[in-house]
Amino acid sequence: MADNAKIQELLSKPRNELTEFEIAQLEEHEFTSGPLSILQTAVRSHTQVLISCRNNRKLLARVKAFDRHCNMVLENVKEMWTETPKTSAGKKGRPVNKDRFISKMSMHLRYFISTKIWYISIDMRTPALLWFSD
Residue 38 within any structural domain of the chain: no
Confidence of residue 130 (pLDDT cuts 50, 70, 90): low
The total number of structural domains in the chain stands at: 2
DSSP string, 13-67: S-GGGS-HHHHHHHHHHHHHHSTHHHHHHHHHHT-EEEEEBTTS-EEEEEEEEE-
- Domain CATH code at residue 112: 2.30.30.100
Least confident of 69-73, 74-78, 107-111: 107-111
Confidence of residue 82 (pLDDT cuts 50, 70, 90): very high
107 and 70 housed in the same domain:
yes
Strands 128-133 and 48-52, by their bridges, are: parallel
Higher model confidence: residue 55 or residue 132?
A: 55
Q: Residue 51's domain spans which residues?
A: 46-133
Task: Convert the pLDDT of each residue in 27-72 to its tens digit.
Answer: 888 777 767 777 888 888 888 888 887 777 888 889 999 887 778 8
Query: What's the distance, Cα to Cα, between the start and end of the chain in Å?
Result: 32
In whole numbers, what is the pLDDT of the chain averaged over residues?
Answer: 77
28 and 58 housed in the same domain:
no
75 and 19 housed in the same domain:
no
d(CA 18, CA 128): 34
Torsion angle of C-alpha atoms 121, 75, 83, 113, degrees rounded to 10: 50
**Of 37, 59, 36, nearest to 48 (Cα)?**
59
Is pLDDT of 85 > 80? Answer: yes
pTM beyond 0.75: no
